[in-house]
Chains A and B, each alone.
Chain A
Amino acid sequence: MALTETELMNQYHNRHLTAFIIVLNSLKANESISCYGMIDRIKKIVTEDSPYSDEMINSLIEEACKNNILVEERKKYFRKIPEESILLPMTLQEKIYLKNILKSPYALLFLDLPVIQEILQKLSDVPEMDFSRMIDFTGVSKELEFDEAYIKNFRLLMQAVQEHRKINFVNVDAQGNEILNKERIPFKIEYSVIMRCFWLSLWNQTGKRPFKANISRISDIQLLDKISDEEYQTVMNMMEQKKELHPIVMIITDRNSAIERINLMFSMYHKKTERIADDKIKISLSYYNFDENEIIDGIMSFGTAVQVLAPERVVEKIKEKLTAEIIVQ
């Protein structure tokens, strides 16, 4: 069958079906589960407050019993062949995608070359549909090249984030000074689609503030002890408190599709939008302080189509830019 006749949407990729299989696979030999137990486990995998879940799962259990996948005994359910796991096979689209990401420059950050080659070998009968030849990106920085030291650092940092471990490291600031950072708590690895580079998002326990470090400027990483779940949660809560109390409030006039463009640009941020006239909307955008300058740059690119009303600090920053030395008149 030609690829062109396949559709991307696939009803078998259903969140309840996947959750149902996961729960079935988790049942050990002779382990029984009640209907409520099943619902509970599935709901932990899918959304907790799904209004359809109970009814749907009941109907699934009923059909699974009729079809001998589950056996019912006094309102308890057993797997018919508990020793075998049901695995979801990959669709053709998934295999094509997997082949593409394994050939991407990012694959080496995660997997060793022999592993990549081994999987690619097993995908050799999958069509060579090379996305990188068919898709061009504009408005982005040059793709990074990762050397051995970068890959080693990246993997150490992934481990630190995964295991909630504190780290010591050295980073070089914008002025070229080497700074020793002690006992920082890594939170996530952050990637910018436009700048095509990775940062480590961290929490500085001493200064009680979040900060970011460009991974290409990090060296001498030492993994320290794991932090407790309670301590990690406390850090997360403190991070949340670093959100600016006052959102950026701005009026957008729909000139050159400014309304669509600004909403697309800021679609990752938490915001409320209200239409206040046929050609005007008001946006209240909540943000973290460390993103402020970047947001202001984005706003500036719209010129007079966007007017910031609040907070005063942001208005002042824009005024500063507008009155900055006008070069070479």
Chain B
Amino acid sequence: MPEKGRNIMLTNDTGISIIKRLFYYGCYSEKDALELEGLKRFDRYKNFLQYAFGDHLEEITLETSGEKALHFRTDEFEMPFNILLDIYTMTNISSTEFILFLKLMNFFTGKNQKKQFTSVQIYTNIDVINSGKYVSDRTFQRKLQELADYGYLTSEGKGKFLYSKPESILNALDESSIYRLTALTDFCRNIYHPAVCGHYLMDTLSVINQQKSISYDTLFLCKHLHMGQVLEDEKLWKLLTAIHEKKTISLHYKGILYQHLQPHKIIINETDGRRYVFCIILGNGRNGGILYRLGNILEITIEKKKKEIPLTLIAEEEADRIYHDLFDKSFTGTCSLKKKLQTGTLIYKKNFYYEIQKHFPEATPEPEDELHDKIHIEVNSLTEMKPWLRKNLGKVRLTNTSDSTAEELEQELKEWRAMYGIDGN
């Protein structure tokens, strides 16, 4: 099959970085190519990217430097998130796999739906020919097991397989319910992680929709999505399964190998789009917690049990306690408590209380003057409040801080005004 690319793009770091540049920055230029690939050719993957993104990809010349670049043209009305998700349906699939899959689906359609077959019986019934040659029974058996692992077939033991019929789940639904289920899936794949699972489900539903002559066009737009997250879904899936099956992991993070970690929780900051995994460090006598950013993790391995390292996982409640002790007072939820809490006073306009309450629901407001109230706050780090304070400049101000944050903000405001030519007086 001539379809190339996705595996190349999505299984190596350079490929992912190129896609990230296109989606985050909108452009992949000659300078980017030099930085990421060590050569000035920015169009090495152009064919694949054009195949993946169609009309959305164009070659442009950048205004300032005159550099050539690939440019991802999009619009919030076109839901670029779904275009990125499409990459996951651009697999390198060999003709053997393609035809085997098709023949199996064909074989299990109709009268064979409810029957169990051994791999030998299936093999005898559906001679799979690849480029004029029969596929060996060993290859065939391996492929059947692979399909069972994915869930397309149900392995019934003793080498028997049963077709995992979609209609057994959805057959009772009328057309209107199928349509609504499709709309629910379409909506959720943009907001429920891991989005790739939702995209696959949407793909499966598209065949059912076609069979029932249901036409579905997306009804939704989503705002504040962070598209690059999709490219971390493979890691996310691995972490979720490790949490679910109570397995320990090791991971490569910023060049260091960390072992014997008990993953406990995924934390997603929807304001800045960053995703983290909170792990309990096992094996050193005291159980501490640590947060790793998914974007900085190079590789995750689910550890196999070894007799020489008898690790005892801690109970979920205990892991929860450690997590809450470390993060409950974090303004963003992603900055752990270091030594002691930092303090300050927030003075705000009275009509800004709705936002204050969202972040500090337990604080008691005190009157400051006719127009303003104030609250005293305790947080893990005052620094992580800076973006929020800048965004709400004029509505809220931080003062009386236990560290230098308030002074730093004052100084920054002076520089900020100077940047726009505003007189400091």
Contact = CB atoms under 8 A, between A and B. Distances in A.
A228 interface: no
Contacts of B73: 270
B185 A10 contact: no
Interface string A245-282: 00000000000000011011101111111111000011
Contacts of B188: 101, 104, 106
A173 to B, nearest CB: 16
Contact of B2 (A21, A52, A89, A270): A52
Interface string A59-88: 110011011010000000000110111111
Interface string A272-297: 11111000011110001001000001
Interface stretch (B19-27, B36-44, B114-122, B252-260): B19-27
Given A161-B219, A322-B417, A191 B191 contact: yes
Contacts of B168: 122
B193 A131 contact: yes
B180 A94 contact: no
A55 B1 CA distance: 8
Interface stretch (A30-38, A42-50, A218-226): A42-50
A81 B63 CA distance: 58
Contacts of B332: 138-139
A327 B91 contact: no
Interface stretch (B224-232, B282-290, B306-314, B336-344): B224-232
Contacts of B62: 272, 274
Contact of B26 (A11, A56, A80, A273): A273
B152 A301 contact: no
Name the residue in B62, B206, B224, B334 with the highest tally of chain A Cβ atoms < 10 Å from its Cβ.
B224
Contacts of A118: 172
A162 B196 CA distance: 25
Nearest to B52: A47
Nearest to A128: B244
A119 B166 CA distance: 11
B227 to A, nearest CB: 5
A88 B420 contact: no
A143 to B, nearest CB: 11
Given A64-B102, A301-B388, A88 B204 contact: yes
Contacts of A47: 51, 54
Interface in A183-233: 188-195, 201
A144 interface: no
A147 interface: no
B268 interface: yes
Nearest to B349: A327
Contact of A11 (B51, B97, B172): B97
A79 to B, nearest CB: 9
Contacts of A129: 240-241, 244
Interface in B190-242: 190-194, 196-198, 200-201, 203-204, 206-208, 210-211, 217-228, 233-234, 237-238, 240-242
Contact of B204 (A16, A90, A327): A90
Given A131-B193, A321-B394, A15 B24 contact: no
B266 A136 contact: yes
Nearest to B247: A4
A80 to B, nearest CB: 7
Contacts of B390: 300-303
Interface in B131-183: 132, 147, 149-153, 163-170, 172-173, 177, 180-181, 183
A132 to B, nearest CB: 9
A320 B252 CA distance: 46
Given A11-B91, A11-B93, A271-B26, A4 B105 contact: no
A195 to B, nearest CB: 8
A83 B111 CA distance: 12
Contacts, number: 433
B266 A135 contact: yes
A4 B245 contact: yes
B416 interface: yes
A260 B293 CA distance: 14
A7 B234 contact: yes
Contact of A20 (B102, B127, B164): B102
B401 to A, nearest CB: 15
Contacts of B267: 135-138
A52 B52 CA distance: 11
B416 A303 contact: yes
A146 interface: no
B221 to A, nearest CB: 4
A176 interface: no
Interface residues of B, number: 161
B358 interface: yes
Interface string B384-402: 0011101101111101000
A92 B266 contact: no
Given A10-B200, A67-B99, A297-B391, A322 B24 contact: no
Name the residue in A21, A52, A96, A267 with the highest tally of chain B Cβ atoms < 10 Å from its Cβ.
A267
A89 B237 contact: no
Interface string A167-193: 000000000000000000000111111
Given A86-B109, A129-B240, A135 B268 contact: yes
A254 B240 CA distance: 33
Contact of B102 (A4, A49, A69, A267): A69
A238 interface: no
Nearest to B169: A122
Contact of A189 (B170, B180, B219): B219
B270 interface: yes
Nearest to B76: A268
Contacts of A301: 387-388, 390-391
Given A8-B196, A127-B244, A63 B98 contact: yes
B406 interface: no
Nearest to B182: A110
5 contacts: A11-B92, A131-B240, A191-B223, A263-B25, A301-B388
Interface of A: 1-18, 20-22, 25-26, 47-52, 55-56, 59-60, 63-64, 66-67, 69, 80-81, 83-98, 100-102, 104, 106-107, 109-111, 115, 118-119, 122-123, 127, 129, 131, 134-142, 158, 161-162, 188-195, 201, 239, 260-261, 263-265, 267-276, 281-284, 288, 291, 297-298, 300-304, 307, 315, 318-319, 321-328
Given A101-B192, A307-B420, 7 more contacts: A26-B210, A98-B185, A139-B333, A190-B220, A264-B24, A272-B27, A303-B412
